[in-house]
Amino acid sequence: MTDPFNFDDEASRALEALYLSSMSSIRRQKVRTLLDLHPGDTVLDVGTGPGYLADEMAAQVGPAGRVDAIDRSPQMLALAQRRCAGRPQVVLHEADVLKMPFPDAAFDAAASVQVYEFVAEMPAALRELRRVLRPGGRAVIVDTDWASLVWEAKDRVRAERIFSAWDEHLADPYLPRRLAPLLKECGFDVLAVEPYTVASLSPEPVPAGLAKMIADFAPGRRGVTAEDTAAWLADLAALHACGNYFFSLTAFLFLARRTAED
């Protein structure tokens, strides 16, 4: 039973490959459009992972700006270090979202993509984000609501059991539906929410990588066995072979602004 929650070497590289896909890069583009960065801005990437977004934001803020990126996984930070090597304005830090190594009001903007769904102490994490943003500073937060997963299988009951085991990889697999009230409670105005759906009629590139992660993770949880996940993968392959593959999953992008008053 592997645990992608810890983002060790293998899980980090699997995620890096997944985030290379055009579907992930379109999502990052949407994040950057909402964040509306300008040359010279100071920006924070919370849970940078392999560093794709930090690298892209560095290009936007230019040499006069700065991107600080945090992650608690040294393996992820090593990938981000390699990716951002040519960008002196990117500074990486090994840190937790609950205690970030920055002074108050240090940033004009912040982004966090697929990170807070791993965090159990959400009010504390959002208060920490607020602390490091300047008054009026913008934050874009992206998380997936896993109830939006539609993944056709001949044996839907088995597939649902496997998905419910996969839910255990997150602190809250349904975070988006409670994120707006949480943000308001923690001193943010919520300006917008946008869905971003990945839909695919074939396993490549995103569903296949995700299926492997799920098949590695689920056995031993909620009664799911390795035989169950092997049969589910075979089920998906059979659907693909006859042209009946269907996958869809929705993430939600929230644009919030730090309120001025304390």
Contact between 7 and ligand SAM by CB under 6 A: the answer reads yes
Q: Which residues contact 257 (CB under 8 A, 6 or more apart)?
A: 136, 137, 138, 139, 188, 189, 191
DSSP 8-state assignment for residue 245: -
Among residue numbers 102 through 141, which ones bind ligand SAM (CB under 6 A)?
113-115, 118-119
Q: Tell me which residue of 92, 88, 87, 134 sits closest to 110, measured CA to CA.
A: 134
Chain position whose Cβ is nearest to ligand SAM? 49
Contact between 252 and ligand SAM by CB under 6 A: the answer reads no
Whole-number Å distance between alpha carbons of 165 and 249 = 17
Asked if the peptide bond before residue 205 counts as cis, ω within 30 degrees of 0, the response is: yes
Q: Tell me which residue of 102, 171, 185 sits closest to 143, measured CA to CA.
A: 171
If the CB atoms of residues 97 and 210 are measured against ligand SAM, the closer one turns out to be 97
Contact between 89 and ligand SAM by CB under 6 A: the answer reads no
Smallest gap from residue 218 Cβ to ligand SAM (A): 17
* Binds ligand SAM (CB under 6 A): choice among 57, 97, 132, 179: 97
Smallest gap from residue 91 Cβ to ligand SAM (A): 15
Of 43-51, 151-159, 186-194, 198-206, the segment contacting ligand SAM by CB under 6 A is: 43-51
Whole-number Å distance between alpha carbons of 13 and 15 = 5
If the CB atoms of residues 109 and 239 are measured against ligand SAM, the closer one turns out to be 109
End-to-end CA distance of the chain: 45
Binding footprint of ligand SAM on the chain (CB under 6 A): 7, 15, 19, 47-50, 52-53, 70-73, 76, 96-97, 113-115, 118-119
